[in-house]
Structure 1
Amino acid sequence: MRMMKKEVGEHKGEAVFEYTLENAAGLKVSILTYGGIISSIMMPDRKGDLANVVLSYDSLEGYQGDEYCIGAMIGRVAGRLSAARYSYEGNEFLLDRNEGENHLHGGWNGLNQKVWSVKEVTEGSLTLEVPCEDGEGGYPGSVMIEVTYTLSDKDELTLSYLAIPDQDTPINLTNHSYFNLSGDPSLDVTDHELQLKSRRYLELDDEQLPTGTILPLSQGGFQFEGPISENRTDIDHPFLLEEHFSREISLHHPGSGRKVVIETDQPAVIVYTGGGLEGAQLAGGKASSHPGIALETQGYPDAPNHSDFQSVMVRAGEEYRAKTKYQFMVED
């Protein structure tokens, strides 16, 4: 296992570094200390040709001006919170309104816009940490958030999250990498095959907020068999991962043979086929109409505003933990 480090620029006077983990098989995963961003996952196709299978930018400046949270860590609460507010134990908390009247991805200074510190480097793993201050984004309590990236010689990348707040606060973390297993962002991911062990999804309103209704996949016209082009191609929906399954997700690109299998302990995944990225200037060229697919494993979106959803509230002094594992493989 090898670890490489290089300085790639600075953000608000702080140096930004890129760390690259490489295993014995040659799989490489690169992480920026800015935003905790996964900037590259280099893997071979069935011919042995290497390509970056996540969307990325050519430079740090691209990420600093990014509107799409490409590759970034998201929080303190991922997704949208309706009307940029929530109530808890008789108190109302007003949050940053950074998407119309709503709150998105932690507000104006979310985890994706911070420079993280390196807490620990060991063989095959990197732990980054970043503080969130009391009142930041409108959230109560200070909390130090940690993410550990671990690459194994079995071609498994594991993201392990840890946070302990000093006041009761919602926490719901995810990673916002967009996969394109062809390695070419000018090609659509609609030829990829996506499989979810899910039977239900959350109905959304016109602002992409949960209505509170849980529906069967068939009612939304979703079927996860065959290419995405045979499904609904414009997807930006939360799917519930069933308790009695292993909460497994798989994405396969028949053209290259590349495949990623995702296992998580989280109860939901937001599937987004990147319809809003068309024309963006990415590393490798301009984005196609559906250049990448984000698979954001997390708790229920807008959960603080829905008493019947699984809670994302974390009590003062308690641990928030979450884990998602990505297994990379090539099929003939």
Structure 2
Amino acid sequence: MTFPVKQAVLKILEPERFRGEMDGKPVGLFLLRNSRGMVACISNYGAKIEQLIVPDRDGRLADVVLGYDSLEAAAGGSPSMGAFIGRYAGRIKNAVFDLRGTAYRLNANNGPHCLHGGIKGSRFQVFDAVQHNDSSVEMTYVFSDGEEGFPGTLALRLMYSVTEANELVIDYEALALDSPTVASFTSHAFFNLNGESSGSALGHEVTIYADRYFAMSEDLVATGELLPVEHTALDFREPTVLDTRVRGNQAPDVAPSSTEWVEGYDSCYLVYRPDEGTGLALAARVSAPGSGRVMEVWSTEPAMQFYTGLLPQQPLPGGPGKSGLAYFQQQGLCFEPQGCPNAPNCPAFPSSVHEPGQSRTGRTLYRFVSGPDRSGSDR
């Protein structure tokens, strides 16, 4: 399947290559479009964003997320790439937490910790999916009581849509059905606004709208403390080109332009909310000077993980990506709005507990404001 783009032809992923069955459930690929050429390809395996086509400053379309071109490749690839993460995003310390006096032992899959929902969190699950129209698809999954060690049955409903303002919108609702549980969700797309096969993303300019970040232990588990970003390499309140701070493949004797070198980012921020409300807030803005593409990250979530990878020479798990090339760390940037990390073990953070009958809702949108038509007002 192809899509005309000015004087070139851009290949859209083929749904036939994603058709199959896993765990007795049908898997497919769902194509979402708007009238301006934006296309999102979503698999119900892990609810993964496998392709996202948007215009550059001159209206030329390109795929701006890392991903795979078949179900076989996605199943054998980097497990978080493009996935919707649950039942709990990030790391839960020592894979255990206490709820109402009962200790729940989770499946550890990151050293002693539980990462992104455990050994077989939602990124490995097949969602039920229904495409309502050309621009949206609804997916559902029910976490069973005891799944990966978490208590309670939790029904998740997820909606992906593309809008005429060149936004990819992710809406979810999670309902606790029978007993108290904990939950936190995020989207784990890897973005490269110059195109998914363009190499390093360290030339991107990043702004993160946060003046505090979550302190982490050496193994990247939130300690329960919030610290100011001021006078640290985690301060992105002003637009910052990543390769002025991240060493990447630069020689050891090359001096950074602004602050000491860091190897990369795997950091979580408390998103700044001027009105202290719970509606959409601007969490981040990223631009690629090469293509002119600009992406804004808006979310109702209180926190956002920013991930580049820490080892530029290390390939991501799995085989080659859509272009036939291996992916390496720092070739894609992740902006992951979510609940507070390790909140079940950090009483000072807002509670992640959901009572029976209580729903948790959230919205994240990735808005592309570049291209020849910059319509689409903030909301």
TM-score class, shorter: over 0.9
Q: In 1, Cα distance between the equivalents of 2:265 and 2:227?
A: 15
Instruction: Give the superposition deviation at 1:193.
Output: 0.8
* Structure holding more strand per residue: 1
Residue-pair matches, total: 329
Checking the alignment, whether the CA contact within 8 Å between 1:186 and 1:288 is kept in structure 2 is: no
Q: 2:322 aligns with which of 283, 297, 312?
A: 283
Q: TM-score, normalised by structure 2?
A: 0.82
Partner of 2:81: 70
Structure 2 residue 16 is matched with structure 1 residue 21: no
Q: In 2, Cα distance between the equivalents of 1:6 and 1:229?
A: 37
Partner of 1:256: 291
Partner of 1:240: 270
Instruction: Give the superposition deviation at 1:120.
Output: 5.3
Query: What is the Cα-based RMSD across aligned positions, in Å?
Result: 1.9
- Bigger drift between 291-300 and 177-186 goes to 177-186
Checking the alignment, whether the CA contact within 8 Å between 1:117 and 1:129 is kept in structure 2 is: yes
Q: TM-score, normalised by structure 1?
A: 0.93
Instruction: Give the superposition deviation at 1:5.
Output: 8.8
Structure 1 portions without partners, runs of 5+: none
Q: 1:195 aligns with which of 207, 211, 226?
A: 207
State the one-letter code of the partner of 1:275: L
- Bigger drift between 155-164 and 212-221 goes to 212-221
Q: 1:207 to 1:233 in 2, by over 3 A?
A: closer
Q: In 2, Cα distance between the equivalents of 1:160 and 1:276?
A: 32
Q: 1:300 aligns with which of 340, 359, 378?
A: 340
Checking the alignment, whether the CA contact within 8 Å between 1:258 and 1:331 is kept in structure 2 is: yes
Q: In 2, Cα distance between the equivalents of 1:241 and 1:33?
A: 29
Checking the alignment, whether the CA contact within 8 Å between 2:93 and 2:345 is kept in structure 1 is: yes
Structure 2 portions without partners, runs of 5+: 1-12, 246-261, 276-280, 373-379
Q: Secondary structure at the match of 1:266?
A: coil
Q: In 1, Cα distance between the equivalents of 2:167 and 2:334?
A: 18
Provide, for residues 77-116 of structure 1, a one-character-per-residue CA deviation record: whole Å limited to 9, x for no partner. Answer: 0110001000011111110011111111111221111111
- Bigger drift between 84-93 and 11-20 goes to 11-20
Q: 1:271 aligns with which of 302, 306, 311?
A: 306
State the one-letter code of the partner of 1:252: S
Partner of 1:137: 148
Structure 2 residue 177 is matched with structure 1 residue 177: no
Instruction: Map residues 70-219 of structure 1 onto 2, 5 A cutoff.
Output: 70-119=81-130, 121-166=132-177, 167-219=179-231
Instruction: Give the superposition deviation at 1:9.
Output: 3.2
- Bigger drift between 67-76 and 79-88 goes to 67-76
Instruction: Give the superposition deviation at 1:213.
Output: 1.9
Q: Secondary structure at the match of 2:129?
A: strand
State the one-letter code of the partner of 2:363: K
Q: In 2, Cα distance between the equivalents of 1:68 and 1:237?
A: 20
State the one-letter code of the partner of 1:118: A
Checking the alignment, whether the CA contact within 8 Å between 1:194 and 1:228 is kept in structure 2 is: yes
Q: 1:108 to 1:315 in 2, by over 3 A?
A: same
- Identity of aligned pairs, percent? 30
Q: 2:350 aligns with which of 296, 299, 310?
A: 310
Checking the alignment, whether the CA contact within 8 Å between 1:159 and 1:324 is kept in structure 2 is: yes
Q: In 2, Cα distance between the equivalents of 1:331 and 1:17?
A: 30
Checking the alignment, whether the CA contact within 8 Å between 2:308 and 2:329 is kept in structure 1 is: no
Instruction: Map residues 223-234 of structure 1 onto 2, 5 A cutoff.
Output: 223-224=235-236, 225-231=239-245, 232=262, 234=264
Provide, for residues 275-313 of structure 1, a one-character-per-residue CA deviation record: whole Å limited to 9, x for no partner. Answer: 357334322222244110111100111000000011111
Checking the alignment, whether the CA contact within 8 Å between 2:267 and 2:307 is kept in structure 1 is: yes
- Bigger drift between 185-194 and 169-178 goes to 185-194
Q: Secondary structure at the match of 2:28?
A: strand
Provide, for residues 40-80 of structure 1, a one-character-per-residue CA deviation record: whole Å limited to 9, x for no partner. Answer: 00112223332110111232122212344000010000110
Structure 2 residue 360 is matched with structure 1 residue 320: yes
Q: Secondary structure at the match of 1:282?
A: coil
